[in-house]
Structure 1
Amino acid sequence: MKKALLNLLRQTPDKPVALTPTATPPLLVPSAPSRRDFLQKSSLGGLSVGLLFDKLKSPFAVDQELEFTTQKVNRSAAPSDLKITDMRIANLVGVPFSSPIIRIDTNQGLVGWGEVRDGASPNYALMLKQRLLGKNPCNVEQLFKVIKQFGGHGRAAGGVCGVEMALWDLAGKAYNVPVYQMLGGKYRDQVRLYADTPEGGTYEEFATNMKKRTGKGYSFLKMDFGIGMLAGQKDMLVGANVWDITNQYNGKENKVGNYGMTKHPFTRIQVTKKGLDKLVEHVGKVRDIVGYDVPLAADHFGHFDVNTAIQIGKAMEPFRLAWLEDMVPWFYTDQWKQITNAIDTPTLTGEDIFLKEEFIKLIDNRAVDMIHPDLASSGGILETKKIGDYAEEAGVPMAMHFAGSPISMMANVHCAAATENFVALEHHGVDVDGWEDIVTGLKPIVDNGFVRVPDKPGLGVELNEEVAKKFLKKGGTWFAPTDVWNTRDSWDREWS
């Protein structure tokens, strides 16, 4: 606007205009009237005439009046001219896992924050830099279509999704609106969290941990239980002695393979009646500790086939669990449908699915009762909203998986606020000291088990470098230059 007004003034003669009863100042000479002319003059006329006469008095008055008149205009960005100039990463650990933080810089000084999913390589994001430099970050969906071919299921989607978060942060800051507003507005002002609860060595310790959660206001809890807790006990499991089932993430390689990397149906592990009774006893005691006023979900059952999944599901029905999560891999649609049809406890999966198409298969086949995307794998903010909207039309609720820093949490919060069928968002960092201080702009982040949806532009938070540096991976660099990723080295078109 200032540029337009200065151009207008440049066309105005420096010499005073003699006004007579029959003379009209050049700016006010009427021409063939039109609706467009009227709108232009009605918006600029009063200001431009005022500036004209200020100019006649003093050349310094123009800048002073422009400064005063436009004092409430957002000068932080000119969205149409915004360009990406750099992308760098700092890899944080212990929040509660590894969380590579993305920083995207622009030609106007705006910075966008994103986050690669927990446990994923920072290179998943850095390889996208060459496809983003010089682009306008406000064209979020267009850029997402450019980079989404480089994502995949699980952690392989971490780079694409983290960049998408940062693009939305920049777009919101450029237009001076919160991200949820650009998604169509919000359904809620507060986003409900559900908290994982660490087990104790005894039920008394576990009860203490549970009370800490409810004492902080959490009204939705989740626990882990499964065949790992039966390992090494007499007559509890069939076929488990050839596997290392104590940790499904770090299973040892042996003669039959790696338990953690073997898909569930192929281990051929079964649970005996004695083993089922032990699981029932365990969950029953936990339910007594928690009570029935609080929803209690369950996860991490181990690697076994669909028949064992159904047996465990039926055994858990008296405890009215909120859901049974990831009992078999998400891509076994028919097996999920078998389990869902056989038991009364709700079934749920989805934290490793990339893009909406695979969620659509689960929803259309009525294979699960609920979906569970992780926004840092499912495609980012907009794609996750599309997933939620599709599920909502089919009457399927959406919970959201999350295990990262407050930056990724805010991306989840905006998406959850804008999606009608949202139920609850996971929070894995409840016990991490200093977690909330990693960012500024929203304090406290968690208040009695809920997060207030921020009304600040973009994601609504900024990285607190002083605190975040305390979480920097040992030997890591703090947003070091990434020029090695500036040059494109492949032909990306997916069609001929």
Structure 2
Amino acid sequence: MKITALKTYLVEPRWLFLKVETDAGISGWGEPVLEGHAETLAAKIGELEDFLIGRNPLMIEDIWQSIYRNGCYRGGPVLMSAIAGIDMALWDIKGRYHDAPVHALLGGKVRDFIRSYCWIGGDRPQNLEVEAAALMARGFDCTKLNATRELRMIDCYREVDRIVAQMGALRDFVGDRMDIALDFHGRVHVPMAKVLLKELEPLRPIFVEDVVASSQIDAMADLAKFTSIPLAVGERLHSRYDFKRVFETRAASLINPDTAHAGGISEMVRIGHMAEAYDVAIAPHCPLGPIALAASLQVDAVCQNAVLQEQSLGMHYNGSVDMQDYLVEGTGFDLRDGCLYIPEGPGLGIEINEEFVVKQALKGHKWRAPEWRHADGSVAEW
């Protein structure tokens, strides 16, 4: 069997899908996207096309290593997201070739389902109680939200009090019926992160994600010693080599690498097993499309230390087009009582509605992250 074509589809709301075709009539799907840079990733896949056509798609590890090690430039968000999409598609092909789910080819699943969570509150947190109530009505007992809007490097205590009051009101509303994860999104700098962690600790967040920018791992390690709140990092780290410092410095109790950004299923499983050796949990980041989520669930299936799975169902970025729209009716995700069940179908376990994908690709998208500024006109972290 040989790879014959790679086809990319830029689709709403902000995703890029990849179809890898073979001369055996078996195709696989991947999601090689980087939010706000979908066209860049499409170009990168095109650049790799002549490198991949003619290769045996079942030789996943050899292909992974060939792309990663070809040339002197390795790692980074673009290359690793491109590898991720290709890797997903190859595992999808291999599973379909053997008529088995990916997790069966990786040693078999260690769980039947995984606890999941959805976002509330948007980029600048609002309507928290209403949205939390809607999630609980759907059976969820965990949610994640941005803890704050833009914040200056050293801000006033009036802003600190506003943040704590808003988060406190949410905690009072949900009580112990729902766990709350907070995302600082790298928009909080070290001085304010220390203040906020102390003030938010009584509200018992299940974790705080990107308490500072992921380039500040040493500072994160110091903050981890300062607080009892588990800290999480990973969506902006792209390989096991990026995670070495996280583990060695004990900067986080939980990591959330993204299957679409960190080298795909192959590298995610390696990262997950590496984390297990340090007694660190994994909760794959996935505010993306259905292919990325299906790939994440394959990782959750085989990593003993997987504890939570993010998903984008109904997420504020998605607008009128959501994950299930891209799937053949009746082949979507099994979501019950806030838990996602591990797919048992061949490959990634989902069936893409290719006709709808092609139709949506005719429209494409131009999604960009919002540009924020402080009151003084300086650029703020989003």
Q: TM class, shorter-chain normalised?
A: 0.7 to 0.9
What is aligned with 1:435? 323
Which of 147, 150, 165 is 2:67 aligned to?
A: 147
d(CA) in 2 for partners of 1:126, 1:430: 31
Match of residue 223 from structure 2: 339
Instruction: Find the aligned partners of 2:124 and 2:343 in 1 and give their Cα distance.
Output: 39
**1:102 maps to which residue?**
18
- What SS class does the counterpart of residue 108 from structure 2 fall into? coil
Residue 192 of structure 1 aligns to a residue whose secondary structure is strand
Deviation at 1:405, TM superposition (A): 1.5
- 1:308 is matched with which residue? 192
CA deviations 1:394-422 (Å, max 9, x no partner) are 11111110022211111111111111000
Partner of 1:352, secondary structure, is coil
**Shift in Å at residue 227 of structure 1?**
4.6
In structure 2, do the counterparts of structure 1 residues 189 and 325 end up closer, same or farther at CA, with 3 Å as the change threshold?
Answer: same
Q: Secondary structure at the match of 1:85?
A: strand
Distance 1:407 1:377 in 2: 13
Picking from 180, 199, 214, the partner of 1:296 is: 180
TM-score normalized by the length of structure 2: 0.86
1:470 Cα offset (Å): 5.0
Q: How does 1:55-70 map to 2 (within 5 A)?
A: none
- How far off its partner does 1:151 sit? 6.0
Correspondence 1:133 to 2:53: yes
Q: Where do residues 78-477 of structure 1 align in structure 2 (5 Å cutoff)?
A: 82-94=1-13, 98-119=14-35, 120=37, 121=40, 122-149=42-69, 152-198=75-121, 205-228=127-150, 240=152, 269-300=153-184, 303-431=187-315, 432=318, 433-440=321-328, 442-469=331-358, 471-472=360-361, 474=363
In the aligned structure 1, how far is the partner of 2:213 from the partner of 2:179? 24
Deviation of the 1:288 alpha carbon: 1.4
Question: Tell me, what secondary structure is at the counterpart of 1:451?
Answer: strand
- SS state of the match for residue 28, structure 2? strand
Q: Output the CA distance in 2 between the equivalents of 1:426 and 1:445.
A: 14
Letter in 1 for 2:354: E
Shift of 1:201: 9.9
Q: Structure 2: how far apart are the matches of 1:302 and 1:133? A: 39
Q: Which amino acid aligns with 2:216?
A: Y
Contact preservation (8 Å) 2:214, 2:234: yes
CA RMSD of aligned residues (A): 2.2
Displacement of 1:380 in angstroms is 0.7
TM-score, normalised to structure 1, is 0.67
Instruction: For CA contacts below 8 A with separation 6 or more, give which structure has more relative contact order.
Output: 2
Amino acid aligned to 1:132: L
- The structure-2 alpha-carbon separation of the partners of 1:470 and 1:313, relative to structure 1 and needing over 3 Å to count, comes to farther
Summarize deviations over 1:36-64 as a string: whole Å, max 9, x none: xxxxxxxxxxxxxxxxxxxxxxxxxxxxx
Deviation string for 1:86-108 (max 9, x for gaps)? 111111111xxx11111111011
List alignment gaps of at least 5 residues for structure 1: 1-81, 231-239, 241-268, 477-496
Gap change, CA 1:110 and 1:201, over 3 Å in 2: closer
User: Is the 2:186–2:214 Cα contact (8 Å) retained in structure 1?
Assistant: no
- TM-superposed CA distance for 1:475, in Å, is 5.8
Letter of the 1:225 partner, please give it. Answer: A
CA contact (8 A) 1:328 1:336 kept: yes
In the alignment, the residues of structure 2 paired with residue 201 and residue 342 of structure 1 have an alpha-carbon distance, to the nearest angstrom, of 27
Query: Tell me, what secondary structure is at the counterpart of 1:460?
Result: coil
Q: Secondary structure at the match of 1:400?
A: coil
Separation in 2, partners of 1:200, 1:271: 19
Q: CA deviation at 1:388?
A: 0.8
CA distance in 1, matches of 2:253, 2:307: 13
Residue by residue over 1:118-176, the C-alpha shift from the partner in whole angstroms, topping out at 9 and shown as x without a partner, is: 42331122222111111111111110001124763335522110000001011111122
User: SS of the counterpart of 2:20?
Assistant: strand
Q: Which runs of 5+ in 2 are unaligned?
A: 366-382
Q: Distance in 2 between matches of 1:315 and 1:196?
A: 22
SS at match of 2:115: strand
Aligned residue runs from structure 1 range 468-487, under 5 A: 468-469=357-358, 471-472=360-361, 474=363
Deviation for aligned residue 1:393: 1.7
Paired amino acid for 2:157: K
* Preserved CA contact (<8 Å) 1:151 1:354: no
How far off its partner does 1:114 sit? 0.6
SS in 2 for 1:101: strand
Deviations 1:167-218, CA, capped at 9 Å, x for gaps: 1011111122110011111111112211111359997x43221111111122
The 1:434/1:340 distance shift into structure 2, 3 A limit, reads closer
C-alpha contact (below 8 Å) 2:11/2:363 kept by paired residues: no
